[in-house]
Amino acid sequence: MAYVINEKCISEIDGSCVDVCPVDCIYEGLTKRYIQPEECIECGACLTECPVAAITAPAGTDPAWAEDNKTFFALPLPGRGAPLGSPGGAMGTGPIGVDTPLVANWTRG
């Protein structure tokens, strides 16, 4: 299981986690970032860089957010005809511009 980004990242624009990721596996949705589970090497570089503690290690991950991260890559997102899959690095795709249904419908309590 890869590292996971949870709800604390929604509307967080810092992006320092992206800068330190050695395999470029952190992709940008519309309001949140997502870690591609097949590309993540579980190095942990992103953990300490996140200013809002939104990234969790595999052992401490909420299953709902682990599934959400998988959904971003495995299912066609709104307005997209096919799943994103494993493109081999976020730099080549640029911002995806859409979020998963969980994130798109998220309201802070």
**How many domains are contained in the chain?**
1
Q: Render pLDDT for 5-48 as a digit per residue (tens, 0 to 9).
A: 999 999 998 999 999 999 999 999 999 999 999 999 999 999 99
* Position 99 in a domain: no
- Whether 104 maps to a domain, the answer reads no
Residues in the chain, total: 109
In a domain, 26, yes or no: yes
Please tell me whether the overall predicted TM-score, pTM, comes out greater than 0.85 for this model.
yes
How far is 82 from 7, CA to CA, in rounded Å? Answer: 25
- The CA-based dihedral angle spanning residues 43, 49, 53, 54, taken in that order and rounded to the nearest 10 degrees: -70
Is the predicted pLDDT of residue 109 greater than 70, yes or no? no
73 found inside a domain: yes
Q: Is residue 53 part of a domain?
A: yes
Domain enclosing residue 64, as ranges: 4-92
Give per-residue pLDDT as tens, 47-94.
999 999 999 998 888 999 999 999 999 999 988 899 999 999 999 999
Q: For residues 84 and 29, is the Cβ–Cβ distance under 8 A? A: no
